[in-house]
């Protein structure tokens, strides 16, 4: 045993890093298809592409200033030659803010741009959750009015439909940060001393989808015990505060919002934030209505939270409403597939001047899993190539095979010559079978002498083969195969491909 162990050469284990995956041909094609459809919508809305690099100086990205203890908390960071910290971008918004600030004198505002690209997060990966994933963003920089936000919401809705998601299978939920801030202020959570508590409240509200109203009420109050028996400390609000909070958070139109804040207990507690938020939502709602985006597409929902860090006004997110099942057939909570909002302070960090902006992000990788499971994405509809098999290995024959391939390619047909070891013909057939080749082309010495070529319809061949039992018979029958004039190869292949559709 010990001897055996020593003799074994230590093989290097091939493995991709945790949370990183390789993409198959089908995935790449599906992604390309999605990106194309999304881009078409953005272009139609008058946005232009711009691209930023994968790395940024860490301080430009935002809150993660790596200290020597944990330089990679949340982000992947490395130190450059000159000891400056750089990080892989974790979203596309912060780098855009940097780009705008750096080029503020050349850029004409309002600046309308889109971009897609990989972003990286150094977090615990899970099923459908990776440390590298793709986002597709659109932003309007230098637009202070909520009509820019409303446009974003409508563009998100159009994008969902362009991707083949039916109306009613998605919804864009819209809120305004000022409403949440105002409500929290109204129940006495204003001021710097309550900053921590406000965060807890927002985090709790964000879990409405997951835990339902009862679960969130527990989180807002004393706390909640989860299935594993773990206890999560609550925000510590009393029953009355929670009720007042829910009185607003469950509403679904600006009219209802105005009504509630016009009556007790809000009549006396309402504040500038709450009123401004309601007014902004009202303006956006009327834009949606005027443009024909009813509540089955875009819906006001004061429980929407989004990120805690930089949003300052309207926030919005796209949610899928149909059930998504995973490979094991289990239903998965899918949640939002994209979202965004107004970030008026992000560029100002660099320039000192107010540069209001709004934009959103679509989680391409995430959305793709949903669409794939739903069969709404072209299931790799690229046809495998026609295979020209190699029967004779002399120089002249090889040249003839290659010529057939080139002729087919010249006619726009995917084609390839067998590039493995050609000594075993049945191996070539098995290759064609596994590859899914629709047609195999065969020319041996006999055919060449008489200027013919064999064309084998792999689909028809498979069908006929089912009735044949003995191997001898099967081989003799050559199912699905017929002979044509070598000169008409391209035409015959075209004809057969068309017939196979």
Partner RNA sequence: GCGGACGUAGCUCAGUUGGUUAGAGCGCUGGAUUGUGGCUUCAGAGGUCGGUGGUUCAAAUCCACCCGUUCGUACCA
Contact window for RNA (CB under 7 A) among 4-12, 150-158, 262-270, 284-292:
4-12
Spatial strand order in the sheet of 55-57? 55-57, 85-88, 77-79
What is the rounded CA–CA span in Å between residue 361 and residue 396? 57
What is the rounded CA–CA span in Å between residue 194 and residue 161? 42
Peptide bond before residue 110 is cis, with ω within 30 degrees of 0: yes
Which of 425, 490, 494, 497 is the binder for RNA (CB under 7 A)? Answer: 425
Q: Of 202-261, which residues contact RNA (CB under 7 A)?
A: 203, 207, 210-211, 219, 224, 226-230, 232
CA dihedral of 267, 279, 250, 263, whole degrees rounded to 10: 20
Contacts of 175 (CB under 8 A, 6+ apart): 281, 300, 301, 302, 303, 304, 305, 306, 314, 315, 316
What is the rounded CA–CA span in Å between residue 205 and residue 308? 12
329 touches RNA (CB under 7 A): no
Q: Of 391-410, which residues contact RNA (CB under 7 A)?
A: 391
Q: Of 88-117, which residues contact RNA (CB under 7 A)?
A: 90-91, 93-94
CB of 158 to RNA, least distance (A): 23
CB of 471 to RNA, least distance (A): 4
Strands (E), 188-325: 223-225, 231-233, 298-300, 314-320, 324-325
CB of 433 to RNA, least distance (A): 4
Contact window for RNA (CB under 7 A) among 11-19, 148-156, 173-181, 252-260:
11-19
Closest CB to RNA among residues 183, 390: 390
Which of 102, 123, 344, 416 is the binder for RNA (CB under 7 A)? Answer: 123
CA 15 to chain centre: 24
How many binding residues for RNA (CB under 7 A)? 75
Q: Of 133-192, which residues contact RNA (CB under 7 A)?
A: none
Q: Of 16-75, which residues contact RNA (CB under 7 A)?
A: 18-19, 62-64, 74-75
What is the rounded CA–CA span in Å between residue 52 and residue 116? 10
Closest CB to RNA among residues 207, 269: 207
Contacts of 43 (CB under 8 A, 6+ apart): none
Closest CB to RNA among residues 5, 501: 5
Q: Of 435-474, which residues contact RNA (CB under 7 A)?
A: 442, 444-447, 454, 456-462, 465, 468-471, 474
Closest CB to RNA among residues 261, 432: 432
The 3-state secondary structure of 227-264, one letter per residue: CCCCEEECCCCCHHHHHHHHHHHCCCCHHHHHHHHCCC
Q: Exposed, middle or buried by CB within 10 Å (0-12, 13-18, 19+), for 433?
A: middle
Q: Of 333-392, which residues contact RNA (CB under 7 A)?
A: 391
CB of 44 to RNA, least distance (A): 27
What is the rounded CA–CA span in Å between residue 141 and residue 278? 23
For the window 297-326, what string marks contact with RNA as x by the rule CB under 7 A? ---------xxxxx----------------
């Amino acid at each position: 045993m010990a001897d055996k162990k020593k003799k074994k050469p230590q093989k290097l284990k091939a493995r991709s890093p945790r949370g990183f995956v390789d993409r198959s041909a089908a995935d790449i094609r599906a992604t390309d298809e999605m990106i194309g459809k999304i881009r078409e919508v953005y272009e139609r809305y008058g946005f232009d592409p711009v691209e930023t690099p994968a790395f940024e100086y860490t301080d430009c990205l935002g809150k993660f200033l790596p200290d020597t203890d944990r330089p990679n908390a949340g982000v992947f960071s490395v130190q450059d030659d000159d000891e400056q910290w750089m990080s892989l971008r974790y979203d596309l918004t912060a780098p855009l803010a940097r780009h705008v600030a750096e080029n503020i004198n050349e850029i004409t505002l309002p600046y309308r741009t889109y971009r897609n690209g990989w972003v990286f997060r150094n977090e615990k990966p899970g099923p459908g959750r990776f440390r590298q994933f793709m986002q597709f963003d659109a932003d309007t920089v230098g637009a202070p009015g909520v009509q820019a936000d409303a446009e974003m919401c409508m563009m998100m809705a159009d994008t969902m439909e362009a991707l083949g998601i039916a109306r009613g299978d998605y919804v864009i939920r819209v809120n305004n940060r000022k409403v949440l801030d105002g409500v929290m202020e109204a129940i006495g959570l204003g001021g710097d001393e309550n900053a921590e508590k406000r965060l807890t409240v927002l985090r709790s509200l964000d879990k409405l989808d997951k835990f339902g109203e009862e679960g969130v009420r527990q989180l807002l109050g004393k706390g909640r015990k989860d299935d594993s028996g773990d206890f999560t400390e609550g925000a510590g609000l009393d029953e009355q505060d929670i009720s007042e909070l829910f009185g607003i958070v469950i509403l679904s139109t600006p009219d209802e919002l105005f009504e509630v804040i016009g009556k007790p207990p809000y009549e006396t507690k309402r504040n500038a934030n709450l009123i401004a938020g309601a007014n902004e939502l009202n303006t956006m709602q009327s834009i949606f209505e005027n443009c024909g985006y009813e509540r089955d597409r875009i819906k006001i929902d004061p429980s929407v939270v989004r990120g805690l860090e930089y949003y300052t006004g309207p926030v919005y997110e796209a949610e899928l409403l149909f059930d998504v099942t995973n490979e094991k057939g289990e239903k998965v909570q899918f949640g939002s597939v994209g979202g965004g909002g107004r970030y008026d302070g992000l560029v100002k960090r660099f320039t000192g001047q107010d540069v209001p902006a709004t934009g959103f992000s679509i989680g391409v990788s995430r959305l793709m899993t949903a669409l794939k499971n739903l069969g709404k994405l072209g299931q790799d509809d690229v046809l495998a190539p026609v295979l020209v098999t190699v029967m004779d290995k002399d120089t002249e024959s090889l040249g003839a095979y290659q010529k057939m391939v080139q002729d087919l390619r010249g006619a726009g047909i995917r084609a390839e010559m067998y590039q493995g070891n050609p000594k075993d013909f049945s191996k070539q057939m098995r290759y064609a079978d596994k590859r899914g080749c629709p047609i195999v082309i065969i020319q041996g010495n006999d055919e060449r002498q008489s200027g013919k070529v064999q064309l084998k319809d792999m689909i028809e061949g498979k069908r006929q083969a089912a009735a044949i039992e003995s191997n001898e018979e099967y081989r003799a029958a050559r199912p699905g195969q017929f002979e044509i004039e070598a000169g008409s190869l391209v035409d015959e292949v075209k004809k057969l491909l068309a017939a196979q559709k």
